[in-house]
Amino acid sequence: MLQSSRISKLTRLSTSVVAGLFLAIAGFSTAVIAADPAPAAMATANPLVPGKPKADPAAGEALYANGDPSRGVVACIGCHGVNGMSASGAWPKLAAQHAAYTTKQLKNYKDGTRANAIMAGMSAALTEQDMNNISAYLVKQEPALGVAQNKASIDLGKAIYHGGIAAKGVPACAACHSPNGAGIPSQYPRMGGQWAEYNTAQLVAFREGVRKNSAQMTTIATKLSDQEMQAVSDYMAGLR
């Protein structure tokens, strides 16, 4: 009888221990599963920005070409042209522009860091996701092509772009925007093929303090004469 009682107690103890271990393991597994993102969430996650959804070029194309009247979003194509190829130097070519740069400019227009009455209104209705989508669409387009128009200033423009102006402390544009004007993704914009009129206007805006969203460019522009701005802008228009 004593032996039977002892065996019974050991059996109950073993059962309790096994049950406890099972519950502990089950609790740990549940915690791991809960901490692991669902497959659907992982599919839409942006690997570059944790917690942010991926940019959608197709959605960006739809907004670029058609806007979204229900939200007051106006189509970009009217000014910036089909596939980001504007027809006039009044509006920049946006084809193949680095996505991070385009998104930054849209944010700056919306928050007022970059002043432009038209673009402030255009960007006001855009969400950050809209901006990312439009930028993702534009960066996939073929780069803009152009030619330098002013033969008389091409040597000056080339010298400034590739060598800067040492006497004025002006660095070479190529150091940031690359020798062929392609820029550096996520850091410096593409300049090759851009309208000379547009780039000259931006340099003037930096120099005059109208455009304030790049301290680096403000410093450089204040050291350039009108002739130097026009020469380097014309030269950049022909880069590819």
Q: Is 98 annotated as a binding residue?
A: no
Q: Is 79 annotated as a binding residue?
A: yes
User: Which backbone phi and psi does 90 adopt, to 5 degrees?
Assistant: -70, -25
Q: Is 119 annotated as a binding residue?
A: yes
Q: Is 177 annotated as a binding residue?
A: yes
Number of H helices and E strands in the chain, helices first, is 12, 2
Residue 45, SS3 per DSSP = strand
Number of other residues whose CB lies within 10 A of the CB of residue 46:
12
User: Which backbone phi and psi does 124 adopt, to 5 degrees?
Assistant: -55, -35
> Are 169 and 61 within 8 A, CB to CB?
no
Q: Is 162 annotated as a binding residue?
A: no
Q: Is 229 annotated as a binding residue?
A: no
Distance from C-alpha of 166 to C-alpha of 163, rounded to nearest angstrom = 8
**Would you list which residues are annotated within the binding site for heme c?**
76, 79-80, 119, 173, 176-177, 217
